[in-house]
């Protein structure tokens, strides 16, 4: 059986980022962009990561330029923007396709498991897996990181 931990990305720093590294942790994978109306959600994602990482949650930011080209920057610029503007310390991947034929296999797999809800319709779409790597839920962009809906789902898998 495939789990989230069977997939691998390339980190923002260009190094391999196998999700196996996070085995035993719940994962909140979020497609992000620096020039989006939802970009301020980085603040909430960082707060969620700081609060819940010790309990077993990893937030993974996946920059994506598929929604009105709202992530035009290079990886080094994305890293600097996130660190300086939002003090992001959670892991991030290189720019990645999250929808369509060229979507990263992780996103295709989540859609197969959770259906249409797992298909990102915009930036800051959130995908949650539990500590075994099983898909749990998908959350639309408008669901804030601090919302009761998201926090409740995370609490149930920790």
The one catalytic residue in 29, 36, 110, 143 is 36
Beta strands at 26-32 and 57-63: parallel, antiparallel or unpaired: parallel
Question: 58 φ, ψ to 5°?
Answer: -115, 130
Per CATH, domain 23-157 is 3.40.1010.20: no
Q: Please state the rounded mean pLDDT for residues 72-96.
A: 96
- Paired with 137 in beta bridges are 128
pTM listed for this prediction: 0.97
pLDDT of residue 16: 98
Domain locations in the chain as residue ranges: 23-157
Q: What is the pLDDT of residues 126-151, one digit of tens each?
A: 999 999 999 999 999 999 999 999 99
Indicate if 36 belongs to the active site: yes
């Amino acid at each position: 059986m495939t789990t989230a931990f069977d997939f691998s990305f390339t980190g923002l720093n260009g190094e391999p980022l196998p999700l196996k590294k996070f085995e035993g942790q719940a994962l909140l994978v979020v497609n992000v962009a620096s020039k989006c109306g939802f970009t301020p959600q980085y603040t909430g994602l960082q707060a969620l990561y700081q609060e819940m990482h010790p309990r077993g949650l990893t937030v993974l930011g996946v920059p994506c330029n598929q929604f009105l080209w709202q992530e035009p920057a290079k990886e080094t610029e994305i890293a600097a923007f996130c660190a300086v503007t939002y003090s992001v310390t959670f892991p991030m991947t290189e720019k990645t396709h999250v929808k369509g034929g060229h979507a990263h296999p992780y996103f295709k797999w989540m859609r197969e498991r959770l259906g249409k809800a797992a298909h990102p319709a915009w930036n800051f779409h959130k995908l949650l897996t539990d500590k075994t790597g099983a898909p749990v839920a998908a959350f639309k962009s408008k669901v804030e990181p601090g919302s009761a809906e998201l926090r409740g789902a995370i609490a149930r898998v920790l």
